[in-house]
Structure 1
Amino acid sequence: MKSLKQNKTLTSTPNLTPDNPIHVTYDPEDQICTNPSCFFCTMNDPDASLRRARIFNCFKEIPLKDTQEHVLVLSGLWHIAMTHPNDLEFPSLGIFNCMVTLLHKAISDKKWLLRNQNIYIPYYAAHVIGSYTMNKEEFAEMAVQSGVIPPLIELLGGKISWVEQRVAVRALGHLASYKSTFEAVTEYEEEVVKLTMKLASNCLEVVYVNFVGVKDATKRLKYHSDLFTRGIVDLELENRKAEEWASQLQCWSLYLLNCFAWKGRSLNLICKQDFLEDLCDMWGGLVNHTSPAGVGLIRILCYSKIGRKRIAQSEKVLSSLCNLSRSSDDWQYMGIDCLLLLLKDPDTRCKVIEIAALFLTDLVELRSLAGRSNLGEAITKVLLLLDYRQSKQKIREVWDKVERRNKERIISEEKVEERRVFVNLIKQQADHMFWLGELEEAIAKYSEALDLCPLRFRKERLVLYSNRSQCHLLLKDPDSAISDSTRALCLSNPANSHSKSLWRRSQAYDMKGMAKESLMDCLMFINGSVKSSTDDHTKRVKIPYQASRMISKQMDATWLFANARSKVHNHEDRGVMSGLSTIIEEPLVDKELSRRKLERERRRLKKACVTRSVSVN
C-alpha cells in the first residue's frame, strides 16, 4: 500500500531503471492510500477474485491517466514479467492491450513522452511484451491479437532510440519463432526484414557514435546513462553496459532474420551480397557466448539453393568460412558444415572447390568436435567425391591417405613397432637440425618422418606436425604454419587442446593480420595454462607475458566497436587533412588514462580467460 510518506520518497527518486525496479508493499504503520485504483494496493488485496478484477481495471485505466506513477507501475510489471514469464495471470487480464496502448501513446505524442519520466515507459512496455512471449506460444497469440506488432515495428524502425529497438526486435523475434504467430509477422515481411537487416549492419556504429564514442559524459543521452548505471556516474560501467546491449541488439536482429531464413522467406533480400559480407564481421564474441551470430545465419542460408548460390559468389564469405573451419572458435563446426554443403551442391562445387579443399584437407583426421563424432570421416567422404585434378593435387593427398590407411591395416605389429623406432630416430635428427638453425633441412626431416609414421600413431604425428609448424613460423611462412598446427590440433584429444600448436597458430594468424582467429587460439592456449595450474594446487596461475600481450592486442583489434571506431577516426583524419596540417601534443593526463585503460584491459583479460575456461570445460 502506498502512503503519502511513500509518495514523497517516490517523487524524489531521480532515476528509475529496468535494472532497479521499485516495489511498494503494504506497511500497517503507513497512512491509508486515498487512491481507489492504486495498482500497488491492488496487488496486496487478499481476496483473489477481487484482486483479479481490480488488476483488470488497472490495465484499462493506466493508459487513460497521465501521472508520474505510471513508470513505477511499468517498472514493477517489468520485474514480474522477467521473473515469472510463464504466469498466466497478467496476460489473461489484459496486460498486452495496456502495453500496446502505451506504446501508441509514446510513439504519437512526443510531449507526453518527454513529460515526467514517461521516456522509460515504451522501453518497459516492449520489454514486458518480449518477456511474456519468450516461452509460451499461447501468450504470443494473445499478444498478436492485442495488436502488438504495428507499434513494435515502429520502434524497430528507430522511432525513439536504439534502446527501444533492442527490446522491440527481441519481442518480434519471439513472435516470429512460433508457428501460430509467424504469419502475423509476415504480413509486414518486407518492412521487417529490411529494417532488421539495416539494424544488424549499422547498430554497432549507431551505439558507438551516439554513446560510447562520446567522451564528454554530459553530452551523452541521460536516459541511456540512467538505464545503464542506475544514475551512478561511472563511464566504465556505462560503456560496458552499452557494449553488452549493442551486442544483444545485433544478435537478436540476426535471430529474427533466422526465423525468416529457416522458413525460406525473404531469401532474395537476406542474400544480398553486401549484407552477406556484413554477416562475416558479426560474431557473438565474449559478450553473448551462446549466439552464433553471423555464421549462424550463413549456415541456415546454406541449406537453401539460392543461399548457396549467393554465398559461393562471395569471395569474402568463402574466405571467412574457411578461416572459421581452421580455428578454435566455438562455431568451427558451422564453418565446416557450410563448406561441406557448398561442395555437395553440383552448382556451387566448382566455384568453391579450390579454396574449400585447401582448408578441409587439413581437417580429415579430426575425430569429434562439438559433440559430433567422425567429423573427419565425413569431410573425407565429401572430398573423395571430387576430382582432385581441379584442386591443385590437394585432394590427391586425401586419396593417398585413405590408401595408406588400408595398407597399414595388414602390416604386422612387429613391422609397426620397427617403423615407430625409425620415425623416432628421424625426429631426433630433425630436432637437432632445428636447434642448429637449419630450418629447411629440419622441415624435410619432419616431412620424412610423417611419411613413414603410421596413421594410428596420433600422438607422434601430432608432435611432428607441431614441430614442423614452428619451423614454418620462424621462416615467416604463416600459411604453412597454420596448416601444420591445424593438423596437429585435429590429432589432439580433445580437438584443439595442444597448447604449443595453439600458440604457434595464434602467432601465425597474427602475422596474417587475422586478429579474431589469433585471439581465439590465444585464449585456448591460456585456458590450457590455467587448467594445468588449477589441476596442480601447488602451482600458481601464471599467464605467459607474450600471450598476455597478444590478447591485449587482439582484443583491441576485435573490440565490438572496433570497426565503428575506425570509421569515426578515418572521418576525423580526413577532416584534419582537408585543412592545415597541425601537430597535436598529447596531454600528460592522457598518459595516465592510457595506464588506467591498460589496467582495465588486464582485468578484462583475466575475466575473459576464466569465463572462456568455464565454457570450454
Structure 2
Amino acid sequence: MDLQQEKIKKKKTTDDRDANYVRTEVTCSKPCCFFCTMKETDPSLRRAGIAKCFKEIPHRDDQEHVLVMSGLWNLAMTQPDDPEFPSLGIFECMASLIYKGINDEDWLLRDQNIYIPYYAAHVIGSYTMNKAEFAEKAVKSGVIPPLMELLRGKISWVEQRVSVRALGHLASYERTFNAVAEHEEEIVNLAMHLASTCLDSVYVKFIRLKKKKRPKYQCDLLTRGVGGFDMENRKAEEWASQFQCWCLYLLNCFACKEMSLNLICKPGFLKDLCGMWGGLVNHNSPAGIGLIRILCYSETGRKSVAESKEVMESLCNLSRSSDDWQYMGIDCLLLLLRDPITRYQAMEIATPYLIDLVELGSLKGREEVGNTVTEALLLNYSEKKSKFKTNRVVEKALKEIRDLKVERSKKEELLSDAEIHERNALVGLLKRKGNERFWHGDIEKAMLRYSEALKHCPLKMRKERIVLYSNRAQCHLLLRDPEAAISDSTRALCLASPANSHGKSLWRRSQAYDMKGLSKESLMDCIVFVNGCCFTSLETKRIKVPYYAVRMINKQMNATWLFNDARSKSSNKQRLYKGEHESNGDADEVPDNEMIMKRTMGPTKTGENLVVFPLSGLSTIVEEPLLENGGTMRRRKKQPFTVR
C-alpha cells in the first residue's frame, strides 16, 4: 500500500514538473512585453500595462520594438477613432521615439530601429486625423517639436512625408492651429520648398537609383515587404504625389486664415502651383488649383494671381478642359472678374477663353454655369463706354457674347413656327454643302459653310449646333489652327448633355491641345473620350478602344509622368557632372547627404518579419488600408480643400 502511494506521489511530482516546464516555455520572460499586455483579459490590468509599456518603450533597447511599432501603426490606421491608446500616453511615447531617432544615430542604425521614426510620425498623423480632442492631446504631449525636426529633413524624405501629414491634421483644427502657427514662417517656407522640390528629391534619392543602391528600409516601407522593383517605383510615385499634396494641404490651412499670404503668393511659387496636379496617381486631391482657389478668396491672393500671366493662362486652359477640377478654374476666374481691382487685368487674358463657356449648362452640381460666366463678363459693359476699345480681341469677344446671349435670344423668341422651319431647312442644306466641300478637300470653303449654318441655326437646336461646331473644329485642325479648334470643340462640349460628353469633340480637342504642347489637357480629353467609347461598346458586349486613342494616351502619359521634369533636370545635371569629371567612370547618381542613405543600403536582420499591410485608395490626407471585405474606410472631410 505504501509502495503504491509512493508511485502515485512520484507521478504527481513528475506531472507538476512537466506542467511548470510547459508554462515556462509559453510564458514570455520579458518584464514588460507589449504583446503579452495586449492579451490581458482584465481591462484595468490591460490599460495599466499598456500605459507602462508606452512609458518604458523609449528607454529600452529591444529588437521587437519595430514589430510593436508596426502593430501600433496598423491599429492607428484601422481604428483611428479608438480613444484607448491616445488616453494612455501613446503621443508622449511617439514623440520620445522620434527624438531618440534624431539625436542617437547609433541607436537609429541598430537592429531595425530605422523604421521607428516613420511609424511614430504616422501613428501621430492617424490618431489626429478625425478627432480634435486627440489632436489636443497630441499637442499637449509635445509632438510638434519632433515633427518639426523631421520636417526639416533630419532623416530622409520618407519621414518628411509623414511629418507634413501629421502637421496638416493638427493645423486643420481650430483648437490646435495656434500651436502649429507658432512656427508659422518656418512651416510655410518649408512646406512651399518641399511642395516645389519633393518630386525632384524622390526621383534623385530613390527612383533613379539602381535596386541595390536604394535604402533597404525605404523599399520595405514602400512595399511592406512584398513586390519587386516595379512595385517600389509605383509606390514611390504614389508617395511622392501624396507628399506634394499634403504640403499643399498644410499651406491651405494657413491660406484659409489669410496668414502668410505674402510668402505663399510669391510669383515663383504661384507658377510652380500650376504644375502641381498630382498626375493620375493622387486623383482625390485638387493639388495646386485647390490652393490657388483658396488664394482667390482673399484680396492679396487675387491681386497676385491676376498679375501672373502663367497662372492666368493655366486657369484659362483648365476652364476649357475635361479635368475633374475644371469648375475650380472657372471659379477662380469668376472671383477675379468680380473684384473691381483685378477685373480688367483678368479680362485681358480670360475673355477669349471664357467666351467659349457662355452656353455651358450644369457642371459638378452647379447650374447654369454659362449664364454666370456671361453675367461676370458683361458686368457694367456698354458698347459706347467700353474700357476695352484699345483691346480689339476683348472688345470683339464681349460684343459677340452680347449678340449671342442677349440680342439673338430676343430675336429668336419672336420667330414664327414657319420661320423656324425655314431656318432648319437652310441649316441642313448648308451643312450638307459643307460636308461635300470637306470630302472634296476644300477645307476652307467647308468651314465657311459651317460658319454660315451656325449663324442661321436657332439656339434651341443644340444637337445640330454641336455637330456644326465639331465639324468646324475638324476643319481648323486640318488647317493647323489648334486654338480655333479648341474653341469650337469647347463650344460643342458645352452644348452637350451632360457637359464634355461629345466623343468626336473630345478627340478633336485632345488633338488640338497636343498640337499646342498642352499634354495634361490633351490627356484628360483623351481619357474621357476613351471612357465614352468603352461605355458605348459595353452595350453591344464588346469593349474596343481605338488604336489612335491608345497611342495618344501613351504619348501624353509619358509627357505628364510625375517625375518627367525631375528626370530632365537630373539628366542635364548628370551630363554636366560627366563633362566636368570625365576621368570618373561612375556618375550614376547625384551625391546624397542624408545621413541614413549612407549606411542603410544592406539587408536588415529581421526585415522578413515585418507585418505586411497592403494599402489602397490613398487620398489627400488619409492613408487607408484595405479592409477584409475589399473596401476602404471612409473618412470625413475637415477642409474644403480636400476633395474625396
**Is residue 421 of structure 2 the alignment partner of residue 426 of structure 1?**
no
Preserved contact between residue 278 and residue 562 of structure 2 (Cα < 8 Å): no
- Aligned CA distance change for structure 1 residues 578 and 162 (closer, same or farther; 3 Å): closer
- Aligned CA distance change for structure 1 residues 410 and 547 (closer, same or farther; 3 Å): same
- Aligned equivalents of 1:510, 1:577: Cα separation in 2: 35
- Aligned equivalents of 1:579, 1:453: Cα separation in 2: 69
- Aligned equivalents of 1:366, 1:44: Cα separation in 2: 62
In structure 2, the residue matched to 1:306 is 300
In structure 2, the residue matched to 1:442 is 446
In structure 1, the residue matched to 2:639 is none
In structure 2, the residue matched to 1:108 is 103
**Is residue 117 of structure 2 the alignment partner of residue 122 of structure 1?**
yes
Q: Which amino acid aligns with 1:358?
A: P
Preserved contact between residue 365 and residue 376 of structure 1 (Cα < 8 Å): yes
Q: Secondary structure at the match of 1:347?
A: coil
In structure 2, the residue matched to 1:454 is 458
In structure 2, the residue matched to 1:408 is 412
In structure 2, the residue matched to 1:49 is 44
In structure 2, the residue matched to 1:174 is 169
Deviations, residues 294-326 of structure 1 (Å, cap 9, x unaligned): 010001001111111111111111110010010
Match for residue 343 of structure 2 among 345, 349, 361: 349
In structure 2, the residue matched to 1:560 is 562
Preserved contact between residue 316 and residue 350 of structure 2 (Cα < 8 Å): yes
Q: State percent identity of aligned pairs.
A: 64
- Aligned CA distance change for structure 1 residues 28 and 564 (closer, same or farther; 3 Å): farther
Q: Secondary structure at the match of 2:342?
A: helix
- Aligned equivalents of 1:113, 1:369: Cα separation in 2: 52
Q: Which runs of 5+ in 1 are unaligned?
A: 1-26, 581-617
Deviations, residues 176-232 of structure 1 (Å, cap 9, x unaligned): 000000011000000100001000000000000011011x21111111111123345
- Aligned equivalents of 1:258, 1:82: Cα separation in 2: 24
- Aligned equivalents of 1:339, 1:65: Cα separation in 2: 58
**Is residue 360 of structure 2 the alignment partner of residue 366 of structure 1?**
yes
- Aligned CA distance change for structure 1 residues 151 and 475 (closer, same or farther; 3 Å): same
**Is residue 399 of structure 2 the alignment partner of residue 396 of structure 1?**
yes
- Aligned equivalents of 1:328, 1:30: Cα separation in 2: 65
In structure 1, the residue matched to 2:607 is none
TM-score of the aligned structures, taking structure 2 as reference length: 0.84
Match for residue 93 of structure 2 among 95, 98, 102: 98
Q: Which amino acid aligns with 1:396?
A: K
The alpha-carbon deviation at position 284 of structure 1 amounts to 2.7
Match for residue 327 of structure 2 among 316, 330, 333: 333
Match for residue 288 of structure 2 among 275, 285, 294: 294
Q: Secondary structure at the match of 1:346?
A: coil
- Aligned equivalents of 2:368, 2:452: Cα separation in 1: 27
The alpha-carbon deviation at position 36 of structure 1 amounts to 3.1
Aligned residues: 551
Q: How does 1:436-515 map to 2 (within 5 A)?
A: 436-515=440-519
Q: Which amino acid aligns with 2:555?
A: K
In structure 2, the residue matched to 1:200 is 195
**Is residue 372 of structure 2 the alignment partner of residue 378 of structure 1?**
yes
**Is residue 230 of structure 2 the alignment partner of residue 236 of structure 1?**
yes
The alpha-carbon deviation at position 128 of structure 1 amounts to 0.3
Q: How does 1:526-605 map to 2 (within 5 A)?
A: 526-537=530-541, 539=542, 541-575=543-577
- Aligned CA distance change for structure 1 residues 579 and 253 (closer, same or farther; 3 Å): closer
The alpha-carbon deviation at position 50 of structure 1 amounts to 1.0
- Aligned equivalents of 1:405, 1:256: Cα separation in 2: 47
Deviations, residues 53-106 of structure 1 (Å, cap 9, x unaligned): 111111111111111111111111101000000000000111101111111111
Deviations, residues 462-498 of structure 1 (Å, cap 9, x unaligned): 0000000000000001010000000000011110011
Preserved contact between residue 284 and residue 290 of structure 1 (Cα < 8 Å): no
Out of 232-241 and 48-57, give the one that drifted further: 232-241
TM-score of the aligned structures, taking structure 1 as reference length: 0.87
The alpha-carbon deviation at position 29 of structure 1 amounts to 11
Deviations, residues 248-293 of structure 1 (Å, cap 9, x unaligned): 0001000000010011010000000110000011003211111000
**Is residue 258 of structure 2 the alignment partner of residue 255 of structure 1?**
no
In structure 2, the residue matched to 1:35 is 30
In structure 2, the residue matched to 1:613 is none
- Aligned equivalents of 2:429, 2:137: Cα separation in 1: 74
Q: Secondary structure at the match of 2:26?
A: coil
In structure 2, the residue matched to 1:17 is none
Q: CA RMSD in A?
A: 1.5
- Aligned equivalents of 1:328, 1:113: Cα separation in 2: 48
- Aligned equivalents of 1:530, 1:506: Cα separation in 2: 17
Preserved contact between residue 506 and residue 518 of structure 1 (Cα < 8 Å): yes
Preserved contact between residue 523 and residue 553 of structure 2 (Cα < 8 Å): yes
The alpha-carbon deviation at position 577 of structure 1 amounts to 6.2
In structure 1, the residue matched to 2:259 is 265
Q: Which amino acid aligns with 2:88?
A: L
Q: Which amino acid aligns with 1:571?
A: K
In structure 1, the residue matched to 2:421 is 417
In structure 2, the residue matched to 1:76 is 71
Preserved contact between residue 510 and residue 518 of structure 1 (Cα < 8 Å): yes
Q: Which amino acid aligns with 1:445?
A: R
Preserved contact between residue 424 and residue 457 of structure 2 (Cα < 8 Å): yes
In structure 2, the residue matched to 1:595 is none
**Is residue 170 of structure 2 the alignment partner of residue 162 of structure 1?**
no
Q: Which amino acid aligns with 1:56?
A: A
Preserved contact between residue 322 and residue 335 of structure 1 (Cα < 8 Å): yes
**Is residue 328 of structure 2 the alignment partner of residue 324 of structure 1?**
no
The alpha-carbon deviation at position 395 of structure 1 amounts to 0.9
Q: How does 1:124-143 map to 2 (within 5 A)?
A: 124-143=119-138
The alpha-carbon deviation at position 543 of structure 1 amounts to 1.3
Q: Greater helix percent: which structure? A: 1
In structure 1, the residue matched to 2:587 is none
Ranked by relative contact order (alpha carbons within 8 Å, sequence separation 6 or more), the top structure is 2
Preserved contact between residue 458 and residue 491 of structure 1 (Cα < 8 Å): yes
- Aligned equivalents of 2:581, 2:103: Cα separation in 1: 44
Deviations, residues 119-159 of structure 1 (Å, cap 9, x unaligned): 00000000000000000010000000001111111111111
Preserved contact between residue 506 and residue 517 of structure 1 (Cα < 8 Å): yes
Q: Which amino acid aligns with 1:464?
A: L
Deviations, residues 3-37 of structure 1 (Å, cap 9, x unaligned): xxxxxxxxxxxxxxxxxxxxxxxx99961111231
- Aligned equivalents of 1:175, 1:353: Cα separation in 2: 39
Q: Which amino acid aligns with 1:474?
A: L
Deviations, residues 334-382 of structure 1 (Å, cap 9, x unaligned): 1111111111112112222122000000000000111111100100001
- Aligned equivalents of 1:481, 1:290: Cα separation in 2: 30
- Aligned CA distance change for structure 1 residues 513 and 30 (closer, same or farther; 3 Å): farther
The alpha-carbon deviation at position 412 of structure 1 amounts to 2.1
Q: Secondary structure at the match of 1:34?
A: coil
- Aligned equivalents of 2:77, 2:325: Cα separation in 1: 29
Match for residue 220 of structure 1 among 203, 214, 220: 214
